Amino acid sequence: MDLITVTRKAGLAFTMRLRDHVLTSDMSVGEGGRDMGPNPVELLACSVGSCLATMTQEYCDRHGYTNGDVAVRLTLELAVDPKRIAVLVADVELPKGMPEDAKQEVRRLLDHFPVPETLRRTPQLDVEIS
């Protein structure tokens, strides 16, 4: 069984299945889709944000920083040639009252979480056509 299966739903919308989860991606109306879900580039940014949030929350919980939850706000800037994300800015909100040394430790760790690290070290992508 494949880890992730992506099949056409309608138009430019695709259904992604992973274990018992079902997600939809689509292009915006302006890009020829029906905006039934985030587009693939937005999904990539969401993956970065959810990785940063999850791993940071785990650190905070483990160290007893529980005066509030972690939140991540992302903005992205697209490049045109080739079309890709050129800049991705993540604003990470930490629980209140964290000491400065803990904030610095989180800052150091953020660069080594799995999804950001994957983007820095481009993975090999093998595409097979059947």
Residue 54, pLDDT score: 96
pTM over 0.85: yes
Q: Residue 101 is inside which H or E element, if any? A: helix 100-110
Give the list of residues 6+ apart from residue 31 with CB closer than 8 angstroms, or none. 12, 39
The 10 Å Cβ neighbour count of residue 43 is 13
Q: Is 55 helix (H, G, I), strand (E, B) or coil?
A: helix
Model confidence over 48-77: pLDDT tens digits? 999 999 999 999 999 999 999 999 999 999
Residue 83, pLDDT score: 86
